[in-house]
Structure 1
Amino acid sequence: MLPEVGSLWLLRLLRDIQLAQFYRPILEELNVTRPEHFDFVRPEDLDGIGMGRPAQRRLAEALKKHRSGFKSKNWVYKILGGFAPEQKETTPAPDSPLTLPEPEGGLKCLIPDGAVCRGELLGSGCFGVVHRGLWTLPGGQSVPVAVKSLRVGPEGPVGTELGDFLREVSIMMNLEHPHVLRLHGLVLGQPLQMVMELAPLGSLHARLTAPPPTPPLPVARLCLFLRQLAGAMAYLGARGLVHRDLATRNLLLASPRTIKVADFGLVRPLRGARGRYVMGGPRPIPYAWCAPESLRQGAFSSASDVWMFGVTLWEMFSGGEEPWAGVPPYLILQRLEQDRARLPRPPLCSRALYALALRCWAPHPADRPSFSYLEGLLQEAWPPEGRCVRDVTEPGALRMQTGDPITIIEGSPDSAAWKGQNGRTFKVGSFPASAVTLADAGGSPATRPVHRVSPAQGERHQESVDGDRGKAKLRDLPPAWGQRRNVPLQRMKGGAERAWSHPPGVPGSTQGHWGRRGFCHPEPQGGPALPSE
């Protein structure tokens, strides 16, 4: 048996404990070539190559002794080790199975390079590309997965991109939530690959902007997604993490009724008593989704994620429109702070949900609701469901037939005409209130108010929040509100770097440039030293 270069340590270790027969299976089936790789090996993996529990205990003891005088020089683990949570070493009891360090949250393991086959390209990001893939398990079963590969240059992986990639791995290793994308494992090949849960229906943004004949998403489904998103974000906040890139493009559809929060490339731990993360250099951020304090100071917190939740809500109910489309990036902060402008209410969004969004857009972070509180607010703002009790064919009214399910978007007891969505045709419009029976009204025509909305903090700066464009005069809103993503942003001179600057007199005046996700915030001037990325 000829040992491979670089794995002599493994052969020596196994020979010392009379387990040399497992050298090839550990090397080839478990893809272990360095001591740190055992951090991702579970007892079940060793069971799979025929190693009994007494032998596993001997291996654990030998690894502990080997590591006591071993310092990793592998570039992967020098970086990943700095991000992973600290593991306490324990000596297994004589009759207990091998307990190798394992991340929280279930199956997170090293995957052999040959076990993953990549297929079609699904998308690309700042430091990696994502393919559809097929993962062949040791037992022979094949699992559809998404494979995110580190983009590697001619001279190997770039330090910044490598650090971002491994930071994302270390964060996802410890996440386990029904509405957070799951990491299955890591392939230590060329290139490095994350093997993740596949969301077969793509991004929510792609679904929202899909052209006919794809039907629009029902209002009730959008509300369900909002509740799932609030729960996932409350989970991330409880773990001391800030997402920083919350948008419909980063919400994936695992099924027609289930979304998963994805893309953890910008996720960072919150630091200090104030629970904030402050950028320490020019890095890409999604400018049009960011809270004012993020644009002005590069400061992020759970409250700034709540602001992004409000923008994501707006995206959902506007059919995937681009927020602040057509507005130069350097003017967005001025619109938010000086003009107190907010994105207008989309036609599908009820007053109650828009009032919730306005609370998310409160100028001061402390005035925004927490994600846990948002879950309750969403329940209160949930649109009632009804059923049509007679055919409606009047000119200008929403067409409906007896028995059609109707989602009530707007209505009040003193109004003869209500607004809603026909669950059969997905059309939205006004209809006679007497034509619909609410689901909880005991079979009688709808006579109770649908929503009672009290002015939210953000509404104090709005003249009106109803859908009547003749009355709603939101302060100096951008003229191109309804334009889509192909609207070019205003560019300054110096085309190659797409540089921009604040005009004189605008608070927070500084310079930066645009990247994949939006604005790259520069190092704040004149302030205290900030932690680096």
Structure 2
Amino acid sequence: MCYIGMHPNIVGFFGAYIKEIHKGILFVATEYCSNGSLESYLRKKKQVVDQKEDTVYQDTQLENFLYSHELHQFSIGIANGMGYIESKHVVHGDLAARNVLLDEYLNCKIGDFGLSRKLYEYQKYVKKSQEPLPWKWMAYESLTKREFTSKSDVWSYGVTLWEIYSLGKTPYGGLNWTTEFADELQNGLRLTKPQFANEEIYSKMFDCWNLDVENRPRFSEIAELFKRLCGSSYTILSE
């Protein structure tokens, strides 16, 4: 996090107390995100509406729904943050709605870099350890070859988009890990269109899950799509 530095869509790192690190004591000071994880925030909502609709909602209902442009802004923020991470030659490795936090203005802040690795002279990181991995969010090449690149982060971003437009549902619900899961991906298994995504958004998700890494979109390209969908509603949320 110190290497990555500050960005509007990444949890800010302010410092660490390491005087007693030899005792296993470490304190890290980071930006406070008062609205918690994106996953938990989405799961509190029940409906998505278009701001252009004339439907009148009671005040008691306001906390139960989101406007569609808010979902688009979440998608833009994460794409912008991931694009910046890519520009720093870092692979996140664990992008998911649970690892995106929301500040008081509902800006998305990417956090939890526990699986991230810096890429210096090489383009991919091969994972050799055996710790549990977030298999439902992992790219095909990560599952089969343990290869992690910015393009495998794009795959994970596609799954995160699916979480956003399903209001926090669990991807591949009901499936348990089996060694055949990667084979199923190769044979065409993909998440179905979530309830609140249109065909254009789902098509972009599907592009993120291309088995050919070179045919997956770049984060900047994805961000432009959602900026266009937001139209005049696109803003950088701040005080």
CA positional deviation for 1:198: 0.7
On the 8 A contact 2:45/2:66 being kept in 1, the answer is no
Contact kept, 8 Å, 2:16 with 2:28, in 1: the verdict is yes
What SS does the aligned partner of 1:195 have? Answer: strand
Pick one of 203, 217, 230 that aligns with 2:37: 203
**What residue identity is the alignment partner of 2:13?**
L
Q: Counterpart amino acid of 2:171?
A: P
Following the alignment from structure 1 to structure 2, what is the Cα–Cα distance between the partners of residues 383 and 353?
12
Structure 1 residue 334, shift from structure 2 partner: 2.3
Q: Report the structure number with the largest CA radius of gyration.
A: 1
**Distance of 2:220 and 2:213 partners within structure 1:** 15
Q: 1:211 to 1:237 in 2, by over 3 A?
A: closer
Query: Which residues of 2 match residues 329-340 of structure 1 at below 5 A?
Result: 329-330=177-178, 331-338=180-187, 340=188
Tell me the residue number matched to 1:519.
none
Deviation at 1:379, TM superposition (A): 3.1
CA distance in 2, matches of 1:352, 1:384: 15
> 175, 186, 190: which is aligned to 1:327?
175
Letter aligned with residue 108 of structure 2:
I
- Distance in 1 (CA, whole Å) between partners of 2:4 and 2:175 is 39
Question: 1:183 is aligned with what amino acid?
Answer: F
Aligned equivalents of 2:196, 2:210: Cα separation in 1: 22
- Give the conservation status (yes or no) of the 8 Å contact 1:290–1:307: yes
**SS of the residue 2:76 aligns to:** helix
Secondary structure in 1 matching 2:144: helix
Q: 1:347 to 1:266 in 2, by over 3 A?
A: same
* Alignment partner of 1:178 is 2:8: yes
1:194 aligns with 2:28: yes
8 Å Cα contact 2:83/2:220 also seen in 1: yes
Indicate the residue corresponding to 1:225 in structure 2. Answer: 74
CA distances 1:401-422 after superposition (whole Å, capped 9, x unpaired): xxxxxxxxxxxxxxxxxxxxxx
Q: 1 or 2 for the larger relative contact order (CA 8 Å, sep ≥6)?
A: 2
Contact kept, 8 Å, 1:208 with 1:216, in 2: the verdict is: no
Q: Secondary structure at the match of 1:234?
A: helix
- Measured after TM superposition, the shift of residue 262 of structure 1 is 0.6
Number of residues of Structure 1 aligned to a counterpart in Structure 2:
213
CA distances 1:366-419 after superposition (whole Å, capped 9, x unpaired): 110111222223334x15689xxxxxxxxxxxxxxxxxxxxxxxxxxxxxxxxx
Query: Runs ≥4 in structure 1, deviation > 4 angstroms?
Result: 383-386
Higher strand share: 1
- Displacement after TM superposition at 1:173 (Å): 4.7
Structure 1 contact 244–300 (Cα < 8 Å) conserved = yes
Is the contact made by 2:42 and 2:164 (CA closer than 8 Å) also made in structure 1?
yes
Aligned 8 A contact 2:93 2:153 in 1: yes
Q: 1:215 — aligned with what?
A: 64
Question: 1:368 — aligned with what?
Answer: 216
1:25-104 pair list within 5 angstroms: none
Distance in 1 between residues matched to 2:231 and 2:221, nearest whole Å: 21
Structure-2 change in CA distance of 1:246 and 1:269 (3 Å): same
TM-score for both structures, normalised by structure 1? 0.38
- In structure 1, the residue matched to 2:166 is 318
**Match of 1:282, SS?**
coil
> 1:177 aligns to what SS in structure 2?
coil
